[in-house]
Amino acid sequence: MARLMLIFIGIIFVAVGLLSRLKPTFGWNMNEGWKVKGDSEPSYAYIEVRKFSGFICIVVGSFFLVFGILTLFL
């Protein structure tokens, strides 16, 4: 059961990482945009931090996936 959980967690991490890499402004209004009056957009730094955190999520998720798959066969 723990093996399948590792694979499931890996898939979730990779999906969140891909979403952060491909659409870094997704959810900005819910998280940060409501704090600012009027129309505004996320800063360049915010977008870059989201992209970097997406990369980290993809790497961590890949490790979970690899170790989950390895434990299935060992």
Residue spans of the domains in the chain: they are 2-31+41-73
Token pair for residue 36? Answer: 């600012």
CB 53 within 8 A of CB 20: yes
pTM over 0.75: yes
Gyration radius of the chain over CA positions: 16
pLDDT in tens, 61-71: 999 999 999 99
- Compute the distance between CA of residue 26 and CA of residue 54 in angstroms, rounded to an integer: 12
For residue 58, what are the CA distances in angstroms to 9, 11, 73?
11, 9, 23
pLDDT in tens, 2-40: 889 999 999 999 999 999 999 999 988 888 888 888 788
